[in-house]
Amino acid sequence: MKRVVVAGRWDGGVPASPTGEALDAIRRGVVAGASQPTVLTVPFGTGPTFDEAVADLRSQASFVRVPTRASSSRDAGERVADLLRNGGTVIVEGGHNSSPDCGAGFLEGLLDVPGIDPRKPEAFADALTLAQSLVAEAGVDLVCAASTARPLLGLDSVLAVAPDLEPIEAQDTALTAALTQAFAHRPLGRHQLLDGADVHPARQRGSGAGGGVGAVIAAIGGRIASTGDLLLSLLGLEAIIDGVDLVIVAEPELASPVLAESTLDCVARVAATHALPVVAITHRSSLSHFEKAEWGLHGVFETEGSVTLEDAGRRVARTWLR
């Protein structure tokens, strides 16, 4: 009996469908196209898919998400403030927001105060100090699940590059200078052994997540982890994939800029450790043969909007599960 794992996401895909429903459609196709296979679906990705992925993990941690279209991260800060009472681990997921608020809204919600201005470094730094004390007293493990690797500050930051990867021409140098000052030497009490980008919270990889929520979390004693690596650990994907015959990955587009912040590489990396074939089902792909190999893909099936996901699953099964 063949065993198959169908993992990935379908947010923004064609046809439009929640990830769980899209993966289930592929599963039905695989069942129809192979001889009594065992098929397991695993939502695995950023944004709304992240919510689906962690839906059954509430006993392990508390989860908050900053929508990429949100112009303020205050709601996330308010939710984290409520969750601090419960202790344990609090995970905040965020990606590359189109309107970064530099984490100011998150601080406002966390501290229940209005109008924190990131252009006023002294006031912003005071807010960071209060937030660090609040988190320390609560004893929580505060984690930013970074669905973008971009920092808050720097030439490749969320303040310098738009989500479509176009450069942001109008740069607010006063804001950059104020943030550089406010985030310096954070979190308080840390022994800084190194100089460089990794020391400054706003220049860490992923610190731009949630519009700057990653930088704030790192500056108040929390930590940043990539969403893909975090899900690998939380879901136990290594154990799930062990012993299967085929891994099918759903990804709405295998093209830039969508693929730049995908978790596809995490799934492919785990599959590679078990020498398993990985086939992607996508609406559209612009990857060359070389790029497919770089992403760890052995095959790509494009629906192009004319093939249902169920039929795509059936065709993949007939090709790869003979």
**Phi and psi torsions of 228, nearest 5°:** -60, -50
Distance CA 61, CA 222 (A): 14
Amino acid at 244: V
> In a 10 Å sphere around its CB, with 0-12 CB exposed, 13-18 middle and 19+ buried, how is residue 228 labelled?
buried
Query: What's the pLDDT at 191?
Result: 54
pLDDT in tens, 117-158: 999 999 999 999 999 999 999 999 999 999 999 999 999 999
Query: What's the pLDDT at 194?
Result: 44
- CB distance 264 to 238 below 8 Å: no
Q: Which two tokens stand for residue 243?
A: 């012993």
pLDDT category at 218 given cuts 50, 70, 90 is: very high
Q: What percent of the chain has pLDDT over 70?
A: 97
pLDDT in tens, 22-68: 999 999 999 999 999 999 999 999 999 999 999 999 999 999 999 99
* Sole residue written with tokens 């005071």: 126
What torsion, rounded to 10 degrees, do the Cα atoms 156, 158, 160, 161 define?
A: 80
pLDDT category at 102 given cuts 50, 70, 90 is: very high
pLDDT value at 197 more than 90: no
Distance CA 186, CA 69 (A): 28
β pairing state of 141-146 and 223-226 = parallel
3-state secondary structure 280-318: EEECEECCCHHHHHHCCCCEEEECCCCCCHHHHHHHHHH
Query: What's the pLDDT at 193?
Result: 46
**Dihedral sign for Cα atoms in the order 20, 7, 298, 267:** positive
Distance CA 297, CA 18 (A): 23
Question: DSSP assignment, residue 70?
Answer: -
Query: What's the pLDDT at 195?
Result: 44
pLDDT category at 190 given cuts 50, 70, 90 is: low
pLDDT category at 256 given cuts 50, 70, 90 is: confident
Which of 106, 111, 116 shows the shortest CA–CA distance to 134? 111
Distance CA 102, CA 100 (A): 5
Q: Which two tokens stand for residue 170?
A: 């109008």
pLDDT value at 214 more than 60: yes
Q: What percent of the chain has pLDDT over 90?
A: 90
- CB distance 266 to 229 below 8 Å: yes
Q: What is the mean pLDDT of residues 161-175?
A: 92
Distance CA 276, CA 299 (A): 12
pLDDT category at 189 given cuts 50, 70, 90 is: confident
* Sole residue written with tokens 């590059």: 161
H-type alpha helices, the chain: 19-33, 48-53, 74-83, 104-111, 121-138, 173-183, 213-219, 227-235, 237-241, 264-273, 289-294, 309-320
Q: Hey, is 161 helix, strand or coil?
A: strand
Beta-carbon count within 10 A of 259 CB: 19
What is the separation of C-alpha 243 from the centre of its chain, rounded to a whole number of angstroms? 27
**Phi and psi torsions of 69, nearest 5°:** -90, 0
Amino acid at 218: A
Amino acid at 79: R
Please provide the average confidence, as pLDDT, over all residues in the chain. 94
Query: What's the pLDDT at 259?
Result: 84
Q: What is the mean pLDDT of residues 293-316?
A: 96
Query: What's the pLDDT at 198?
Result: 52
Burial call 96-127: b when 16+ CB within 10 Å, e when fewer? bbeebbbbbbbbbbbbeeeebebbebeebbeb
Query: What's the pLDDT at 150?
Result: 96
Beta-carbon count within 10 A of 260 CB: 13
**Residue 164 or residue 207, greater confidence:** 207
Q: What domains appear along the chain, each with residue ranges and CATH number?
A: 2-43+236-321 (3.40.50.10350), 49-229 (3.90.1510)
pLDDT value at 257 more than 80: no
